[in-house]
Amino acid sequence: MGCYAGLDCAIVQSGSSVQRTRHISKRGPAALRAALYMPAVVAMRHNPVLSVFAGRLRTAGKPGRVTICAVMRKLMHIVYGVLRSRKPFSSTPVAAM
């Protein structure tokens, strides 16, 4: 799911000579990433589940853009789950069956 949108991690390395930081792959449609950006920023502030998730990433020392990208990916998974199950989003965890 995140791979389709280009929100997966792309490792850049070439033997031992090139060791750069990781970045998102951007393989998918840019319009989808652009459509997820502002909802992710708003969800980081107002959605209790994603707010806790973003806070946990910030306390782990992740940069701001990495946090936003992770929230975009998590938001996309939530949307997919809601569409697939045809049930409204609930912030309380559901027990495994």
Q: pLDDT digits over 51-94, tens only? A: 999 999 999 998 898 899 999 999 999 989 899 999 988 877 66
Q: How confident is the model at residue 95 (pLDDT cuts 50, 70, 90)?
A: low
Containing 18, the helix (H) or strand (E) segment is strand 18-19
Rounded Cα–Cα distance for residues 27 and 81 (Å): 22
* Cβ within 8 Å of residue 88, ≥6 positions away: 82
pTM for this predicted structure: 0.79
